[in-house]
Amino acid sequence: MKAFYFLIPLIMINACKSTTGGAETTKTDSKETMAITESVCPDAGACNVKVMKNSSLTIKEDETGQLYPVITPGENIVVEYSYMEKGPEGTADGDYSETVQFEIKNSDADLALKDGTLQTVNFLFGKQCFCRGEAGFYKVENGALQLSKKGDQLTVDASYVVDGISQKTNHFSKNISL
């Protein structure tokens, strides 16, 4: 029992550890991954933004009519925002994730798209989970994308809704170093 009383202050000190804001960055030759600050991301998971330079996003359809993205080498920039939530321990298919992908031209300096015009950048929402009837990729037809590129800085503000599909994320805003 005395050991228990000794552990309580240690647990409390560890629980009071402050977190640092900002983003954690990992950079490779043509990709950059940034962890979104916790204030933007739902509490239950983790969010990341990946920028793939010299890439192209193609939306394909399989034989069942389901959409899926294919990222290949190209001349544009593909931006991918993802939310990942770990499933309960001991479950084989309890993980949950959402992905937003779109492609911009290297020459795009400012871009403002809304609703139907989002498909000019192949704006795609994906839901990966054990949730029958909702898992898969969808073209986003309702939302807005504001984009500004100045030098090596890319500012993205995106909101999106897919009708008939429940979502845990529907907006992200990020400044990204290219």
Render pLDDT for 109-152 as a digit per residue (tens, 0 to 9).
899 999 999 999 999 999 999 988 999 999 999 999 999 999 88
Comparing 51-60, 81-90, 116-125, the range with the smallest average pLDDT is: 81-90
Cα–Cα distance measured from residue 129 to residue 112, given in angstroms and rounded to the nearest whole number: 31
Q: What is the mean pLDDT of residues 16-36?
A: 46
| Under 8 Å between Cβ of 76 and 105 | yes
Residue 12 has pLDDT above 50, yes or no: no
> b/e for 132-158, b at 16 or more Cβ within 10 A?
eeeebbbebeebbbebebeeeebebeb
Q: Residues 77-92: what's their mean pLDDT? A: 92
Average confidence (pLDDT) over 161-171: 94
